[in-house]
Amino acid sequence: MKELEKTYDPSGIEGKLYQKWLDKKYFHAKPNKDKKPFTIVMPPPNITGHLHMGHALDNTMQDILIRYKRMQGFEALWQPGTDHAAIATEVKVIESLRAQGIEKADLGRDGFLEKCWDWRKDYGSRIINQLHKMGSSADWDRERFTMDEGCSEAVQEVFIRLYKKGYIYKGSRIVNWCPVCQTSISDAEVEHEDQNGFFWHINYPIAGEEGRFVEIATTRPETLLGDTAVAVNPDDERYQDLIGKMLILPLTGREIPVIADSYVDKEFGTGCVKITPAHDPNDFEVGRRHQLPELTIMNDDATICLAGSKYNGMERYEARKAIVKDLEDSGLLVKVVPHSHAVGTHDRCKTTVEPMVKQQWFVKMEEMAKPAIEALKTGKLKFVPERFDKIYLHWLENIRDWCISRQLWWGHRIPAYYCDKCHEIIVSKDSPDVCPKCGGTHFTQDEDTLDTWFSSALWPFSTLGWPENTEDLKYFYPTSVLVTGYDIIFFWVIRMVFSGIEQTGELPFHTVLIHGLVRDSEGRKMSKSLGNGIDPLEVIDKYGADALRMTLITGNAPGNDMRFYWERVEASRNFANKVWNASRFIMMNIEKAPDAKAQLTELTMADKWILSKANTLARDVTENLDKYELGIALSKVYDFIWEEFCDWYIEMVKPRLWNEEDTTKNAAVWTLKTVLINSLKLLHPYMPFLTEEIFCNLSEEEESIMISKWPEYREEFAFEADELAVETIKEAVRGIRNVRTSMNVPPSKKAKVYVVSENQDVLDIFERSKVFFAALGYAGEVCIQKDKAGIGEDAVSAVIHQAVIYMPFAELVDVEKEIERLKKEEERLNKELDRVRTMLSNEKFVSKAPEAKIEEEKAKLEKYAQMMEQVKERLSQLS
């Protein structure tokens, strides 16, 4: 057995151990008919990304589950990979090129894509390498990329299948448009932030009724140019006579109708809503219901596109100012009211998103949503915690067709070809030879690429070889659990669910474990703008990966946000030191009795107690982990190791270990080793490096804790009576320590301890535990008796269940010295009381001092008075 270093230094062991795990292929999983599979797919981080606290939490939770299941004997696969992150990568590459004086257009599509692949080569593995430092035990031999050959094959296959089924179509619908990046973007890429703006109230004249108007209110007056109706609620009595009439659209002279639609909220604003179908998603739906024209009034760069108009060519906000001024000049601007509202911005370039009707590729969602809804309602799919069921259902039950095309070059190019002669669309993996409609032989592929979420929606099965029916797919799919944050339930989780059902006939996973965000110590979201982000690698460099992992899971509850405190990291580091030092102590004693073995009949009451507690712990932690209560399980392991094992049991057995003549020494050593090994195994998923280093130096039978057997509950280790007995001893020890603390008795001062009880069973408990009870209770001698015979009247006591503990007062305290000390304390308190009373009776002080200062002095007066009362009472007792 190799001796552990005196101090625990994570920097000296973590890299070495991780390389060992990689070299030994401990992370690798393969189909095994003798084992059950357990599979997790890693949410693929972007190749533009770097490790942040959200990644650290997400991957720590996954690693805990994988390590736990691996030890339980499952063939545990944690499938890793990275996402091409279409728009994020394209933006980064464009920025990099511009810094070199190169524009994207100068390179052409193929030249630009070469630069993107170079970027992927240089930066694609950066976050993966950082995850190595976290101790992530993913199967890196299987690492995938959303644009590798296999995943690209799956993307094309799904597109073609859905197109042939009629679920994919090209058409004009409203999308999120980024005027800077010049592409449609997904809902996931739109950040809604509250901004201070205005409600502009505008009068729309009623045609043919001079002097009569309809008042509307809008936050975007520039979109007035694209209005094709004004809507009122059909039940709004105020406007019944207006329905069907025509209005004159200000500044344009166009006439638009007043329509009735229940979308309008009677209580909001004026109850009259301008309808701009081409520039508002809700208006778009209203427009389709009423067959309204969809008038696009902006170019792709958000300049006004209205030939013949004075606003033509103006930037949208420039046009807004001009329109507001013209409305004011024409007397149609009623008022301007300050209004704070949510504005959608592109998360990459921070530009305000412009809703626009565009020709795009869409996926029909109504039919595919149905089985995804059914899966949750029938219990086949489960969210932890369950409260996220509502969000999932709300999104699916109100789902709109999904825009999947992007005006980018980096990504999966849409497998659609246009006949140059008749413009027929042919969807296929390769360019067709002949147009089936006109016989043409020249084709142009669609310029657009697919939404990144389209490929990541296939991640659970595309990474296992689908569309081929591979052995990996048959064995590891469906996967077991998905771990992810609540912020992407709609964008990723739901798409994986309906895609998995549609393409494989099965759910991609049965459980979704949702975690919250890691916030700063003040509860704020970590962000670059606030400058409050904390780099996980900085934490690892300073305290080690185990300390960071433990901090992220301590107190963690599914779905809830958590706050990051440096003090918690230090506490986690201190716990690691505690485990290390306890292990060193145990291993030094094992060396004195290396072959120590024990039959259950040879175990003492204390041995049976700690074995029973460890046995119950294994059962409870297993139950917690099976319920995904990772934080609760960690709390139980922590409390057991720190308190029960280190602070109690190790102290209990020290007298036996140090007494060469003690016949129970072997039992003590065997128990220490057994409980330590099982404790390390229960702790391993949380703190893999610490536990591996200790285990590999402690155990000669097994080469790694990673592949050791998870502790299981054993009936023969259930010692309920011994647990109750030791709890009685602990209660007595706590009572003795409380009394001694209240009397300022140092631990070095030994005293005779009397245990008095009329219950013979209680007396027997103390008789059997005399040796360690004396050590824990700082007793020079322990007397166990049925009555108070021989106990002086001056003895102090501690009452426990069915017994009283007595200690002679004179053995605890040197009366003369204590009286001297108390009189000095009395003198000090008198001075403090005089000072405070003088200050509070000074009218000048009371009239001028801040209220907080006065309250502070009053609190001191109360505190000193209580202390003085206690000192006098103590002096009276001693006299």
pLDDT higher than 80, residue 490: no
What pLDDT is stored for residue 423 in this prediction?
A: 94
Order of all β-strands in the sheet with 190-205: 213-218, 190-205, 333-346
Q: What is the pairing mode between strands 751-756 and 803-807?
A: antiparallel
- C-alpha 670/C-alpha 73 separation (Å) is 26
CB 641 within 8 A of CB 670: no
Model confidence pLDDT, tens digit, residues 711-750: 999 999 999 999 999 999 999 999 999 989 888 888 899 9
- C-alpha 105/C-alpha 552 separation (Å) is 45
What pLDDT is stored for residue 196 in this prediction?
A: 87
Helices (H), 535-626: 536-543, 545-553, 566-592, 605-626
Model confidence pLDDT, tens digit, residues 391-434: 999 999 988 899 999 999 999 999 999 999 999 999 999 999 99
> Average of pLDDT values for 799-816?
86
Q: Give the sign of the dihedral formed by CA 207, CA 213, CA 215, CA 219.
A: positive
Q: What is the pairing mode between strands 229-232 and 255-260?
A: parallel
What pLDDT is stored for residue 696 in this prediction?
A: 94
Burial of residue 102 (CB within 10 Å: 0-12, 13-18, 19+) is middle
What pLDDT is stored for residue 700 in this prediction?
A: 75
What pLDDT is stored for residue 792 in this prediction?
A: 83
Q: What is the pairing mode between strands 751-756 and 562-563?
A: unpaired
Question: From residue 326, how far is each of 295, 407, 797 by CA, in Å?
Answer: 21, 36, 91
Instruction: Name the binding residues for ATP.
Output: 528
- C-alpha 304/C-alpha 302 separation (Å) is 6
Residue type (1 letter), 5: E
Which domains does the chain show, CATH number per domain?
Answer: 31-156+460-515 (3.40.50.620), 183-355 (3.90.740.10), 420-445 (no CATH), 565-718 (1.10.730.10), 723-813 (3.30.2320), 816-878 (1.10.287)
Q: What is the pairing mode between strands 511-515 and 425-427?
A: unpaired
Judged by average pLDDT, the poorest of 235-244, 408-417, 526-535, 585-594 is 526-535
pLDDT higher than 90, residue 662: no
- C-alpha 182/C-alpha 356 separation (Å) is 12
Q: SS3 of 114, please?
A: helix
End-to-end C-alpha distance for the chain, whole angstroms: 59
Distance of CA 220 to the CA centre of its chain: 37
What pLDDT is stored for residue 867 in this prediction?
A: 84
Structure tokens at 812: 């605890």
Instruction: Name the binding residues.
Output: 528
Which residue has better confidence, 369 or 790?
369
Q: How many residues does the chain have?
A: 879
Question: From residue 410, how far is each of 1, 30, 84, 161, 168 by CA, in Å?
Answer: 56, 33, 8, 23, 21
Q: What are phi and psi of 846, to 5 degrees?
A: -65, -35
- C-alpha 119/C-alpha 789 separation (Å) is 87
- Please report where in the chains the tokens 């580091």 appear, as a residue: 573
User: Considering just the CA atoms, what is the radius of gyration of the chain in Å?
Assistant: 37
pLDDT higher than 90, residue 292: yes
- C-alpha 144/C-alpha 44 separation (Å) is 9
What pLDDT is stored for residue 820 in this prediction?
A: 84
pLDDT higher than 90, residue 27: yes
Model confidence pLDDT, tens digit, residues 162-194: 999 999 999 999 999 999 888 998 877 888 888
Of 730, 738, 736, nearest to 605 by C-alpha is 730
Model confidence pLDDT, tens digit, residues 770-796: 989 999 999 999 999 999 898 988 888
Structure tokens at 736: 């003795």
CB 371 within 8 A of CB 295: no
